[in-house]
Structure 1
C-alpha cells in the first residue's frame, strides 16, 4: 500500500523501539504503555460495561472428569451407554466445565503496519488493542498467547505460548514492542494463519490483527482456521488508504516493497481511480470475511479505541441475542 513519503517522527513512549535498543528501554516503553492504557481505556470499559459472567466469548465445551455408577436422581442424559453395555451396570459421565479460555493474538507486523497519516500509526493501534484485550483477559485467569509475523522474510513467525498471569502479559507486550520493523517485501498473511493453526492445539479465540494488505490466498487459510477456532478479524485502517486529498505533486512509497511513485493528486481522474480501487478492495475483503465465517472489527487510526470496542461488543450481543449489560472482551473469567 502506498503512503505519502514523509520524515519519520521522533520515537515517543508508545512507538516502536529502534533496532538494537537495550532491553531496559523496551521494558520502560512496555510499562509506560500499560499504565497509559489502564487509565485511558481499560478503566473506561470497566465503568461502562458490567457483569462478571455474561460475556462475549465463553469457554469451549466440557471436559470428561470421571465415570461412576448410576444413582437414582442422576440425569439420564449423562448415561454412557457403551460402558453400560460392557459392564451390564448403568454408568454416568461426570464433567468438569471449562470456564477459562485460551486467546491468541495473531499480529501482522509487516511493513504496511508502520503507516499512519496522522499522529497514530497502525502499529500503535495494534499495540493498544492487544494491550487492552490482554489486560482484560489475564485479570481472570484466561490464557493469552501470540504469533508475531514480521513480513515476507519471517516465514516461521515467532510464537509466545499461551499462559495466564500478569507476568505473561508483560512478556507478550515486551516481545511485541521489541519486534523490529519489517524488511521490504510482500506480506504473506497466509504464513501467519498457517503458523497459528500449527501451534494452537486446543479450541481458542483468535484475534487476527492486520490491515489485510497481503498477497492472495489468505482467505482460504482464514476459513480453515475458523472451522476449529472462534476467529475475529481486527482490521487496521487509515483514512488516507481509501481517499487521497488534493495535495498536488507528491511522492508515494509502498510500505511493503519500498517502491516509490511520483503522482499528481490534483488530477481528479487519478483520485477517482484511487477511490474506485479502494472500494473494490473493501468489497473483496467483506466477501472474504463472509466466506470464512469471520466477524470483522475495524479500527481506524482517527477513531477512539474504547468506543470502537463498545460498538463491536453491542453489535455482537445484538446478533447473539445476549443481554446488553454483558461485559465486553472478557472483564470476567472465561471471557475475551
Structure 2
C-alpha cells in the first residue's frame, strides 16, 4: 500500500498511466528458454559432453557380448561363477549396451531454492541445468521424466512421466515453471528419494538436483537409490551461503520456516562462526556423497553452466578410466 501511494505522489497529475505488461503464455516461455539455452549452452557442449554413438551415461542392455578375466575395479555382480569355477580364474560378463537411457530429474523446489545473492537464483540454475541435460538426452532418442518436490508442505510430489521428443520437453519445462513457491515447512529430501525409489522400477539415470539443505536422514535413501540406478547429485550453491560479508546489522530470514534472526555481520567472530559452520556442512555433504557412492556436480549461481558440465564430464571420464589405467600400470610393473 505504501509503495502504491508513493508512486502516485511522484507521478504528475496529467501523466498517462502506463499500460500493464503483456503476459506471455507458458508455452512461449518454455520455448524461449529452450531456444536461449540451445544457442548459449547446448551448442558448446554438443560433441564434447557426448558423441553421436555413446553417451557419457551408459545404457543398461541385457545381451551378453563377451567374457573376460576379472580386473580390480570391476563390478563383482558381473562375475560368471560357472566359468570361474571351470577355469579356476575369475571371469566377468560384458553386456551389449543399449543406446537408449531413461533419465529422471528429482527436482527439489523447496523454499531455499528461491535464494540468490545476484541476478541468478538457485531456482533459475535448476531450470537451466534440467533443460540443458534433458535437451542433450532427448535429441538422441532417450526418455526423460521428472519428480517435482515442493517441500514438506506439499501433499505429494508431482510426477512427469518419462518420454522422448521436443513436445514432451516443453511440457516438462512448463510443469517445472508452473510449480509455485513452496509453502512454509522443513524440507525432507528423504521423502523425495523414497518416492523416486518406489516409482523408478527399471534401472535409470537419476539426477538429484537440490541444494541439500534438508532435514537429516537423506543419506540412506540416496545410497539405496545408487544400488540400483546411476545417481548423480547436482548441488546448487550460492557464494553468500559460504561466507557473510560485512553488511552491519541485518535481519536474516529462513526461506522455509519463516524464522527471522537479527545479527551483526560487522562482528568478525560471528562471520568466522558462520564460515566454520558452512565448512563443517561441506565436509558432511562430501562424506555423505562418498558413503552413498554417487558423484556430485556442484553448480554455483556465479559460474558458467557449460564450463561446470565440461569439467564434471572430464572428471567422470577420468574416474571411469582409472581402473584400466591402474591395471595397465600393474601389468607393466609385473613385466
TM range (shorter): 0.7 to 0.9
Deviation of 1:35 after TM superposition, in Å, equals 1.0
SS in 2 for 1:321: helix
CA displacement 1:150-175 (0-9 Å, x = unmatched): 11112521101111111111111110
Within the alignment, does 1:146 sit opposite 2:143 as a pair? no
Give the whole-Å Cα distance in 2 for the aligned partners of 1:138 and 1:45: 14
Could you tell me how far 1:54 is from its partner in structure 2? 3.5
Structure 1 spans left out of the alignment, 5+ residues: 1-21, 65-80, 82-94, 323-336
Q: Distance in 2 between matches of 1:60 and 1:96?
A: 8
User: What is the RMSD of the two structures over their aligned residues, measured on CA atoms?
Assistant: 1.9
Q: Does 1:114 align with 2:143?
A: no
Pair 245,35 (structure 1): closer, same or farther in 2 beyond 3 Å: same
Q: Give a deviation string over 1:54-107, Cα, whole Å, max 9, x none.
A: 33111113269xxxxxxxxxxxxxxxx9xxxxxxxxxxxxx9853201000000
Q: What are the Cα deviations for residues 11-67 of structure 1, in whole angstroms up to 9, with x where unaligned?
A: xxxxxxxxxxx9963222211111110110001112655632233111113269xxx
Considering fraction of residues, name the structure with more helix.
2
User: How far, CA to CA, are the matches of 2:61 and 2:23 in structure 1?
Assistant: 41
Asked if the contact 1:155/1:191 (under 8 Å) is kept, the reply is no
1:100 matched to 2:119 = no
Unaligned runs of 5+ in 2: 1-21, 65-81, 83-94, 323-335
Residue of structure 2 in register with 1:225 after alignment: 225
Show the counterpart of 2:14: none
Q: 1:144·1:164 contact (CA, 8 Å) conserved in 2?
A: yes
Matched, 1:181 2:181: yes
Which of structures 1 and 2 has the bigger CA Rg? 2
Give the count of matched residue pairs.
Answer: 272
| Change beyond 3 A, Cα 1:306–1:211 | same
Measure, in 2, the Cα distance between the counterparts of 1:306 and 1:99: 24
Secondary structure of the residue aligned to 1:315 is helix
TM-score scaled by structure 1? 0.78
C-alpha distance in structure 1 between counterparts of 2:135 and 2:307, whole Å: 17
Query: Do the aligned residues in 2 keep the contact of 1:207 with 1:231 (CA within 8 Å)?
Result: yes
Equivalent position of 2:169 in the other structure: 169
Q: Distance between the aligned counterparts of 2:164 and 2:47, measured in 1?
A: 24
RCO greater where, 1 or 2, for CA within 8 Å and sep 6 or more?
1
Q: Does the Cα contact within 8 Å between 2:105 and 2:147 map onto a contact in 1? A: yes
Judged with a 3 Å threshold, the aligned counterparts in structure 2 of structure 1 residues 291 and 185 are, in CA distance, closer, same or farther, namely: same
* Cα distance, 1:221–1:99 mapped onto 2, change above 3 Å: same
TM-score under structure 2 length normalisation: 0.78
* Residues in 1 aligned to 2:269 and 2:303: alpha-carbon distance in whole angstroms: 29
* Equivalent position of 1:307 in the other structure: 307
